[in-house]
Structure 1
Amino acid sequence: MDVPDFNKRYAKVLQYNVPNNENHLGLPTVVCYKALERPENLTSENLMVVNVIGWCAEMLASCIVIIDDVMDRSPIRYHKPSWYSQKDVGLTAIYDALLIVSGIHDLLRKYVGGRKCCTYIMELLHEVATKAIIGQTMDMTMNTPDGTTRLDLFTMNRYMTTTKYKLCHFYCLPMSLAMYLANIYDPEQHRVAKKISLEVGQLFQLQNDFLDCFGNPKGTGKESSDIKEGKCTWLAVVALQKATPAQKKIMEEHYGKEAEEDVQMIKDLYLELGLPTTFATAEEELFLRVQTQIQQNYSGQSQEVFLNLLKQQYNFKHSRLGEIC
């Protein structure tokens, strides 16, 4: 684009936000494609294209992260200051996020245009973006405009639905994108892959909720914020399910408050309710359920790739738990 200052800023936006996340989408897209594609089709051109598609998935995730940090006023993301907190950025970060989305379509038109899979890939990315926006909206409306936390909305059904839309559909991208590029369009194959991928996304969110409360900030790359912001997390929902009337009163009085003493009251309540043990059981059950689904629906290299992605997700978060405080 013939606007030098804009081009410089756009490059900075991309360099700061896109390559620095946890790469849950880009690399797995390449790995899945290599497992699904016929050996004779693993040309240098196709490998270049799948890398571009993988980066498009990462760009979409980065867009949502930028906006989420603005809405939540999160100071840290991926071990460094959030983009909106940078000097001369602020709320302009919203426009930067939209620019990243625009770049996705430019890349796809340039490198994938003309292929049968292009329309499918564009529609998939659009679908995931739309569902993420729905999920983020559901998440934000758990609190009233004046900041009051709506604990009456903290049900497991609401939590699972919000999580599914806000995050889990991103986990469908690597396998689905790889399948389209490999010219696999069978609806049943996509349905099975999506079902399993959504479960992997639920595992991530379960771990992420626990890490935000009990993980080591040096490992997670962001500050604990869910309790302060009154987020509807797995921990909060289960706590309300297990709590006595007196313990629910503690939740009502201290959840969603920014003072450190309020946060500590909630953490102490979680420990009193035995949530770390409940979490470990739920995590293991979910892991084993997804593992069984993979073994029942896939074989050979495809099964190996899916199992490796599942195990990497499981072990990746475990490396960041640190000591429970």
Structure 2
Amino acid sequence: MLRRSLYSCMCTRNYANQATFQKKQSPLMKRIVNEFDNYVPKVVDESLAKMTYVNMSEMKDRIKKASEYYTIGRNPVQGEFMLSAYESMNKDLKITDELVHQLQVVVTTVEMLQSYFYFWDDLEDESETRLNKPCWHLVDNIGMMAFNDACILRSFIDEVLRQNFNLEMRDKIMNVYHQVYFNSSMGQHFDAEVSRSKNYDNYTMETYDMICVLKSSAYAIKSPLLLALVLSNKLNKESIDIVENLSADIGILIQCHNDVIDYYNTKGNVTGKSGSDIQLGKCSWVAAAVLRNCNAAQRRIFNENYGNTDPEKVNRILQLYEEINVEKLYKQEEQRRFDVFNKKITTLPKNATPSAEFFKSFYNLVQYYTQDVSSFMYDK
């Protein structure tokens, strides 16, 4: 292990503006976020019941199981981000049963969209565990049919939206999702191609940022904010430009955080998804940071051992990461990303939507999910 565990490091960091952030939730936020596991099955069941063109109970059971497998039992982080933005744009909000239902549907579908990506990601990474249970493709001999299940889940998300929103609102929400599908798929392509090339000269921060903007930022940060704008009827060129400008650094930071967690999972120190970036030769933030900070001898060690499943070679890479002090590099990178984000906030006009005040609170909410590995982003 490093001199201190990542858990200890993240819990004791001293930020410029505050110590450890304590998350605060409004009554509406508590109702939507805290009851997530209870209403997701209801949204799924009601939508399946209305799908009269699907008559086979076996197929409906499979859709239900696939929809809920990764979705239930984790923190609905993207849903919480969306709700936080939505409330900031609607100060005098009248809470009705219809509003609560629509918010529940959007939170359900945005988290099902995350499950859709988990299906693909776990298959391509040959992962074994996710959220402390076997990956979907390893359940009940599902295997490669997980690809088809992912396609069904994507279509089912559209069906849930179709049943619960009018045509105009549904199309706007689906347009956000379709952008996420497209951008994330391109990001997945570049992620796989760079890793497959094993040309470690290309494992730069510029390459890493490009992949993250497509694969991570678009989903983790940009899409929740765009959804809030859609639901608030405030989606326009100006608001989209603001979200585009302020999403990248925070989204990249979240992925940096997950890459560091993957490293610690490889060492068996954190529960959740089993670590595999080293074995697969991924252009992770850890790999890019180490290559940027290593000497010639250390680079030879990296070249000779990275991207290999041999336990001895994996351990040699882990030793190299310790030597270069990944923990220290991560803390520096984290602070730099937050500093860039805060600087952008100061340039926003007073009437900006989303507002500078919202982004300041959003900054704190993101910190809550990256300050401590016990939160582990998507795992309760």
**TM over 0.5, shorter chain:** yes
2:217 alignment counterpart: 168
Q: Say if 1:211 and 1:220, in contact at 8 Å, map to a contact too.
A: no
Which of residues 131, 142, 145 is equivalent to 1:78? Answer: 131
**Cα 1:263/1:314, change in 2 over 3 Å:** farther
- Is 1:25 matched up with 2:25? no
Q: How far does residue 212 in structure 1 lie from its aligned partner after superposition? A: 1.4
CA distance in 1, matches of 2:65, 2:326: 42
Which of residues 279, 282, 290 is equivalent to 2:341? Answer: 290
Which of residues 257, 260, 268 is equivalent to 2:319? Answer: 268
Q: How far does residue 70 in structure 1 lie from its aligned partner after superposition? A: 0.7
Q: TM-score, normalised by structure 2?
A: 0.77
1:186 alignment counterpart: 236
CA distance in 2, matches of 1:97, 1:129: 12
Superposition RMSD in Å: 2.4
**Cα 1:293/1:154, change in 2 over 3 Å:** same
CA distance in 2, matches of 1:24, 1:186: 25
**After alignment, is 69-78 or 30-39 more displaced?**
30-39
1:120-157 residue CA offsets vs partner (Å, 9 max, x unmatched): 2211110111110111111111244xxx6331321222
Q: How far does residue 6 in structure 1 lie from its aligned partner after superposition? A: 0.8
1:194-217 residue CA offsets vs partner (Å, 9 max, x unmatched): 322222211101111112113675
- Is 1:200 matched up with 2:250? yes
Q: Say if 1:176 and 1:194, in contact at 8 Å, map to a contact too.
A: no
CA distance in 1, matches of 2:368, 2:313: 31
1:18-51 residue CA offsets vs partner (Å, 9 max, x unmatched): 2234422122222322221252554331232122
**After alignment, is 203-212 or 47-56 more displaced?**
47-56
Q: Say if 1:34 and 1:42, in contact at 8 Å, map to a contact too.
A: no
Q: Residues 63-102 of structure 1 correspond to what in structure 2 (within 5 A)?
A: 63-102=116-155
The 3-state SS of whatever aligns with 2:107 is helix
**Cα 1:287/1:187, change in 2 over 3 Å:** same
CA distance in 1, matches of 2:104, 2:204: 39
Q: Say if 1:134 and 1:165, in contact at 8 Å, map to a contact too.
A: yes
Q: Say if 1:63 and 1:97, in contact at 8 Å, map to a contact too.
A: yes
CA distance in 2, matches of 1:55, 1:218: 31
Amino acid at match of 2:199: R
Q: How far does residue 256 in structure 1 lie from its aligned partner after superposition? A: 0.7
Which of residues 124, 129, 135 is equivalent to 2:176? Answer: 124
Amino acid at match of 1:153: N
Q: Say if 2:87 and 2:93, in contact at 8 Å, map to a contact too.
A: no
Q: Structure 1 regions of 5+ residues with no counterpart?
A: none
1:39-81 residue CA offsets vs partner (Å, 9 max, x unmatched): 2554331232122112221111211111110111100111111
Q: Say if 2:86 and 2:231, in contact at 8 Å, map to a contact too.
A: yes
CA distance in 1, matches of 2:299, 2:212: 23
1:136 alignment counterpart: 188
Percent of paired sites with the same residue? 26
**Cα 1:40/1:311, change in 2 over 3 Å:** closer
Misfit runs of 4+, over 6 Å: 298-301
The 3-state SS of whatever aligns with 1:184 is coil
Q: Say if 1:28 and 1:174, in contact at 8 Å, map to a contact too.
A: yes
The 3-state SS of whatever aligns with 2:119 is helix
Amino acid at match of 2:239: Q
1:274-317 residue CA offsets vs partner (Å, 9 max, x unmatched): 33212211111212322343354387995554334332332323
Q: Say if 2:348 and 2:355, in contact at 8 Å, map to a contact too.
A: no
Q: Say if 1:214 and 1:321, in contact at 8 Å, map to a contact too.
A: no
Amino acid at match of 1:182: S
1:312 alignment counterpart: 365
Number of aligned pairs?
Answer: 318
**Cα 1:137/1:280, change in 2 over 3 Å:** same
